[in-house]
Amino acid sequence: MKKHADSIYVSSAIFTGNSLEPMNGAIAIAGDRIIAVGSMDSMNEYIDDNTKVVDCGDKLIVPGFNDSHVHFMYGSMVRDEDFCLSLYDCTSEEECVKRVKEFADKHPNNPWIFGSGWNHNIWPSAKVPDRHLLDKILPDKPVYLSSWDIHTAWVNKKALELIGYDRNTPNLENGFIEHFPDGELSGILREPGAFDPVQKLAIQSGDSKAALRKYLKEAAKYGVTSLGNVQPYGGLEEKEVFEVYKEMEEEGLLTSRIHLFGELKKDLTDAKEYAKKYCSKKLCFAGLKKITDGICESHTGYLLEPYTDDPMTKGELQVTPEELTELIMNADSEGFNVRLHCIGDGAVRNALDCFEAVQKVNGRKNLHNAIEHIENCHPEDIARFAKLGVIASMQPMHIIQNTDEYLKLVGKKRLETTWPMRDLIDAGTIMAFGTDFPVIGLNPMEGIYAAITRQTFEGYPEGGFVKNQSITLGEALKAYTYGPAYVENCENELGTLNVGNLADIVVLDKNLFTAKPKEILETKVLMTMVGGEVIHSEL
């Protein structure tokens, strides 16, 4: 006897993820699982008096969106308007400083002034700021301002004093402390090794649980049913971050699934403990991550050849090839997936070389390793992803952040394989999309639009930024559903609408396959379901 369904969703456009086009039919759900997918006629045997049948017309039904790359707790805190000042739309250093003063006056009880989102690349001067203006307006209260990409911090003298940095402080591991020509500190700290100690002091004054509750609601509103939480944690301690998630799960507050990725270290004691402790359907330890280079905008992303606008440097690796190979070897031997932050084509090649070296010793295991970002990739390395079974984990909204700036950095030739999504997919690479939240907001529609058009929301540049690397709607949806589930080793339960899978389902307000690209940005989520439970509904 067939099991009766709790609910059945009917639509002429259902993207199951098994092909790149939608089907006409219905999905039946019982408990937390999908029990049938097919025509409406085939659903009759699953219907009884208690079954709820929802006719969605031509509205698109998709698997729940899975944001593969977020700094979720940190991101939730820095997007809390009472804790963190938003500087994303500031057009100058002076405007940022003015907002800092206004925020400080409005929040006199905040022990730190914490801000995020400044981007000197979009300012007319393009000049990196320094501490002098901050010191003038707030000489006695510490200020910490994170850049839009979370790779640089702008702080005042008081913050430097509290952490104990002075002109004699050496650069720390994986971090750079910048100086004025006279040797005094400029207030600019690059990469986590330099700014994490300061950020830790600043962020401890926030309320992490309250921020998480707010942004879990935001995730539900956008149809994001799973989140790949990766390090770094913005100065927060890894164990503390994971434990807060555990507490929230026990309190029934985790509405979306959280997949945890810890820091890749030589000592895997913590990782083994995490794997045993966090192993539920809602909260699962899924692997390890390591940052191997910086970012191109600050010339810390590692390139094979020098930067076009600075021939004296090609960036640098934050960990030697020998050290990285050893780290991956240890993780591979213990069965842990590894994700590597690689911005430049040099870092990408190095990561592929290290994965290949490990496979030659350990053999090809059923591990789902990934390279993160891949802003630039040498053409000779494209085919190596699929050959080595390495996933391309990319954030499509990054494509349209600084299109003009990127040409100056890498030159015309390298521009052709900048965010090379089309080439990677054509070579058989599995692709996973994310936002890098809080760098980008949680709305998947923005990333899908960017991957398809490679244009800003205003339609710039005409024709798209390196248009030959654009992908199709079906490919973008798959990269936002199946790809992340594959990264998390959950592809047999999540990422597709198949019988037996967990019922993580989203209903949109239109059929994206018949919509114009700009209409994608206007798309709303009508219903979000996680494990058969509706966590957001406007149906």
115 with 101: CB under 8 angstroms? Answer: no
Strand-by-strand arrangement of the 370-373 sheet: 65-70, 224-229, 257-263, 283-291, 338-342, 370-373, 391-394, 431-433
178: Cβ contacts below 8 Å, ≥ 6 apart? 185, 186, 187, 188, 189, 190
302: Cβ contacts below 8 Å, ≥ 6 apart? 292, 293, 294, 314, 315, 316, 317, 342, 343, 344, 346, 347, 350
User: Computed from CA positions of residues 452, 453, 458, 460, in that sequence, does the dihedral angle turn out positive or negative?
Assistant: positive
Q: Is the peptide bond before 461 cis (omega within 30 degrees of 0)?
A: yes
CA nearest to 362, candidates 326, 319, 386, 322: 326
Task: Classify 519 as helix, strand or coil.
Answer: helix
Per-residue pLDDT reduced to its tens digit, 97-113: 999 999 999 999 999 99
d(CA 484, CA 261): 13
Q: State the pLDDT at residue 232.
A: 79
The burial class, CB within 10 Å (0-12 / 13-18 / 19+), for 416 is middle
Q: Rounded to a whole number, what is the distance in angstroms from the first to the last CA of the chain?
A: 31
Q: Phi and psi dihedrals of 352, rounded to 5?
A: -60, -40
81-203 CATH, one of 3.90.1570.10, 3.40.50.1370, 3.40.50.300, 3.10.310.70? 3.10.310.70
d(CA 359, CA 366): 11
Return the H-helix or E-strand segment holding 404: helix 403-415
68 with 207: CB under 8 angstroms? Answer: no
Q: State the pLDDT at residue 431.
A: 99
Q: State the pLDDT at residue 113.
A: 96
Residues of the chain with pLDDT under 50: none
d(CA 178, CA 125): 19
Residue 141 amino acid letter: K
340 with 353: CB under 8 angstroms? Answer: no
> Do the first three CATH levels of 7-63+503-511+513-537 and 67-71+207-494 match, i.e. the same topology?
no
Q: State the pLDDT at residue 266.
A: 97
Per-residue pLDDT reduced to its tens digit, 251-261: 999 999 999 99
67-71+207-494 CATH, one of 3.20.20.140, 3.30.830.10, 3.30.70.260, 1.10.10.10? 3.20.20.140
143 with 96: CB under 8 angstroms? Answer: no
Q: State the pLDDT at residue 1.
A: 59
Q: Structure tokens of 18?
A: 């098994």
- Indicate the pairing of strand 525-530 with strand 533-537: antiparallel
Q: State the pLDDT at residue 234.
A: 75
Write down the pTM of the prediction. 0.90
> In this structure, how many other beta carbons lie within 10 angstroms of the beta carbon of residue 378?
19
Helix axes of 208-221 and 238-250: crossing angle, nearest 10 degrees: 70
143 with 159: CB under 8 angstroms? Answer: yes
Q: State the pLDDT at residue 402.
A: 75
Q: Structure tokens of 172?
A: 């720390």
Q: Structure tokens of 524?
A: 């709303």
d(CA 519, CA 512): 8
Residue 120 amino acid letter: H
For the chain, give every domain's residue range: 7-63+503-511+513-537, 67-71+207-494, 81-203
Task: Classify 153 as helix, strand or coil.
Answer: strand
User: Computed from CA positions of residues 94, 97, 103, 108, in that sequence, does the dihedral angle turn out positive or negative?
Assistant: negative
7-63+503-511+513-537 CATH, one of 1.20.120.530, 3.90.1660.10, 3.40.50.720, 2.30.40.10? 2.30.40.10
Q: Structure tokens of 140?
A: 């006695």
CA nearest to 527, candidates 9, 31, 21: 9
Task: Classify 147 as helix, strand or coil.
Answer: strand
Q: State the pLDDT at residue 2.
A: 77
CA nearest to 219, candidates 516, 485, 504: 504
CA distances from 423 to 6, 408, 470 (A): 43, 23, 9
